[in-house]
Amino acid sequence: MNLKKYVALLALAVFTIPASWAGEGMWLLNKLKQVNEAQMRELGFKLTAEDIYSLNQASMKDAVARMGGGFCTGEVVSADGLMLSNHHCGFDAIQSISSVEHDYLTDGFWAMTRDQESPTGFEVSFLQYITDVTDTVLSALPAGISEEARDSILQVIGADLERKATEGKPHILADFKVMFEGNEFYMFVYKSYPDVRLVGAPPSAIGKFGGDTDNWQWPRHTGDFSMFRIYTGPDGEPAEYSKENIPFKPKWHFPVSLDGVKKGDFTMIMGFPGSTDRFLNSDGVKLALDVEQPSRVKIRGEKLETMKEHMDADDATRIKYASKYAQIANYWKYFIGQQKGLKAQHVWDRKKAQEDDLMAWVNADPARKAKYGEMQADLSEGYAERASFEKASTYMQEGAFGSEAVVFGFRLYGLMMQLENDPKNTEKITAMADRAKASARDFWKDYDPATDQDVTAAMFAMIHKDVDPAQQPDIMATVTKKYKGDFNKWAEAMFKTSVLTDSTRLMAFLNAPKLKTLQKDMGMQTMTSSLNLYRGVLGPGIDVAQVKIDKGYRLMVAAMREKDPNKMWYPNANSTERLTYGVANDYSPADAVHYDLTTTQLGILQKEDNTNDEFVVPKRAHELLVNKDFGRYANPDGTLPVCFLSENDITGGNSGSPVINGNGELIGIAFDGNWEAMSGDISYEPELQRTISVDIRYVLWVIDKYAGAKHLVDEMTLVKKPVDVPMEVVPPAPTSATDKRAGAKN
C-alpha cells in the first residue's frame, strides 16, 4: 500500500471511530458520569464519577489546586493543607528566597517547623462548580450577525455571567470559557486562597536531574517535586498572609499509595491543562511548520546562549536568571520536538485527508452545504492572510518583547500617556509613579542589566536581519543611521542612559516624573516603536485574518460533531480543570527500540557525572543509593522506583498534577511528556504518547531518607495493600472526617 493511500485510510479511521483510545481526551468533570464512567470502570476505575466531581459531598476536585491562573497544578495530601506539585512549578518560590549565601536552588530547602515555611507570592484556587451556559449564550446571539459582532456580544455576556457569580463573594473567582471553538460555553467558579507557603524542595540536582539534555526524554530519573502548605485565616476562610493564619483544612485530601504501578494499571490525572489545538487544520499545521516554530526555536536558541554566558560567569546572575532560563529552554526544546513529531507522524497529510472527507460529507447534502460550505474557504483564506504577518509577529513576541527593558517600559507607558494628556492631574501621576516603584522593586530583584543588554542587542539584530523591513519597528532606522547598524553599540548607549536599565535613574525619575524625560529616553523610544508596530500593523493584520479563521473553525467543529454524533468528543484544553484516564504502559518509539514502564535508582547512578551540572548526584543521595537504603519505599525486588509512564493525555499546566490509581490514591506526580509525541498538542498519538511522572515513593524517599523531613511524610495518609489481605492504612490513623472517608475508600 502506498503512503498516500495509507495516510488517507488512517485519517478516515481516526476521524470516524469513537474516541476510545485509552488515554486520549481531556474530559470535563461535569460530564464524566454520562460520557466516561463506564469506560473508566472497564479500565480498572473502582470508584464513581461522583467521587471525582460532586456538588453535594467532598470529592477529589476539592484536593486539586490551580496554581496562580493555571501555570501549574497541585494536589493536597494532608488534613493540614500540605500540597505537592513539581519542582519546576516551585522554581520561582525557591529562587525568590535564594542568594549566593543561601543557595536553596543548589542545596534544597526544607522547613523543619511550620514557622520556617516561606510565603510564595502566588495563590491557589479550587473548583467549586461548573455550569453549562450554552443555551443562555446562544439564545442571546441574533441570527446572521457578523463574526465581529458575535465576539463582542460574547465578551459582554461572559463578563456579566462572571460578575453575577462573584458579586459580593470575597475570594470567589469565575471564568467564562468558550468550548468546541465557539459552539459551547461554560462557567467555572473557584475559591481562591492567597496564603501559600513553600515547605520543601529537593536540590536542583534531584528536582532537575538531567537538565535540558533529559528534558522531554525517556528514560527519566528526575525527582521533579516541591511541597507547599496552604493557609487560611483563623476562621478557616481565605486570607492574605499573616502570622496568625492557620493551615487550610481541605474537604478532601489524597491518600498516598505505597503499592506502586505495574503495566496495565488504571491511571488518571486531574489538573489544569493550558492549551491544545487538536482541531488545527492542515493550513494551521503548515504555518506552524514553515514559519512559527522555526522562528521561535531560532530566537530562543540565541537568547539562551546569551543568557547562559552571563549565568556561567556569575553566581548571583545564575540565581536571578535560573527560572527565566528554565522557562525559555523548556519550550525551546518543545518546539524542536513538535516540528519533528508533526513531520514524523505525517500530521499535515492526516489533517488534509480528514478535511477532504468532511467536505465530501458536507457537499453531499444541500442543507449541510448551505450551513457549512464556507468553512474550508474561510480557513484557507484566513491562514493565507495571517501568513503575511506571522514571521514578524513571532519575532516581535519572542525578540523585541524578549528584552526585559522593553517589557518593563510597558509598565511606564500609562504614566507617559498621563503626562502627555493630563499633566496637571498630579494626584493621578503620583499614584501611577508609586505603582511603578512597587513594580520596579520586584523587577530589579531578578534583573541583571548586563545580561539584558546583550540579549536586547541580539534580539533586535535578529529582527533586522530576518524580518521584512516594512514590518520592522522604526527604531531600526536610528540604529542603522546613528550607530551604523551596530546593535551592540546601540544597546550599550541605551543601557548607559535609560531610566529602564538603572534602578537609581528610575527612582529619581519616578520621584519627579517629566514627559520629556520619557520621550528622550532610548529605552522608552524602543518600547514605543515596538508597541506601535505591533498595535498599528501586525496586530490588526492578524486580527482581520483571525476573524475568518475563527468562523471557519466554529463551522468545522460543528460539522464534525454533527457528522459523528456518537463519538466521545472533548474540547481543547483552555486552563480549565480536566481529567484524563488510561493505563500505565511502556512503548516502542522506533524499530528495534523498546522503553520499559519504570525507571529505578540504577539509572541515576549510571548517568551520574559530577563534572556535568545536569547530572550531578548529591553526595548524600549517592551514599544512600549505593547502600540501597530505601526503607519502605523500595520495589519488591529491592530497587528504588523513580519514574513511570502512563497513556494519560496532558499538556502545559498539568505540571504537578496528581496521578491517581483506580482506588483514588496518589501514585505519582505528572511532570513531562515524551519526545516522540511532541506533536501531541495537535494530534494525539496513541501508540507513542506517554506522560512521564515521578513515582510517589521516590518523592517520599527523598523527603524522608534524603532530607530527614519525616515529619512531612508522617502528616500524610499512607496506604499499602498487603498480599492477599484487605487494604490497610499505615499510620497516622484517620483524625478527621476527610481522613475517615479517604481510609474508607481503600
From the candidates 103, 224, 265, 739, give the one annotated as an active-site residue: 224
- The values of phi and psi at residue 197, to 5°, are -125, 140
Amino acid at 379: L
User: 590 with 584: CB under 8 angstroms?
Assistant: no
Amino acid at 538: L
User: 223 with 699: CB under 8 angstroms?
Assistant: yes
CA pair distance 664, 268, nearest whole angstrom: 9
From the candidates 54, 62, 78, 88, give the one annotated as an active-site residue: 88
- The values of phi and psi at residue 436, to 5°, are -65, -35
CA pair distance 636, 617, nearest whole angstrom: 25
Q: In 3-state terms, what secondary structure has residue 279? A: coil
Asked about 115 being catalytic, the answer comes back as no
The residues, ordered by sequence, that sit 6+ positions from 149 with a Cβ below 8 Å of its Cβ are none
User: 253 with 78: CB under 8 angstroms?
Assistant: yes
From the candidates 226, 323, 655, 693, give the one annotated as an active-site residue: 655
CA pair distance 506, 521, nearest whole angstrom: 11
**Residue 219, preceding bond cis, omega within 30 degrees?**
yes
Asked about 711 being catalytic, the answer comes back as no
User: 530 with 400: CB under 8 angstroms?
Assistant: yes
CA distances from 742 to 58, 101, 125, 322, 718 (A): 10, 43, 21, 39, 10
Scanning the structure block, which residue is given the C-alpha cell 549517592? 622
Cα-based torsion angle of the residue sequence 376, 377, 381, 387 in order, rounded to the nearest 10 degrees: 20
Residue 623: count of CB within 10 angstroms of its CB = 12
Q: What's the grid cell of residue 648? A: 494519560
The residues, ordered by sequence, that sit 6+ positions from 353 with a Cβ below 8 Å of its Cβ are 7, 8, 10, 11, 12, 15
Rg (alpha carbons) of the chain, rounded to whole number:
27
Asked about 594 being catalytic, the answer comes back as no
- Looking at the annotation, which residues are catalytic? 88, 224, 655
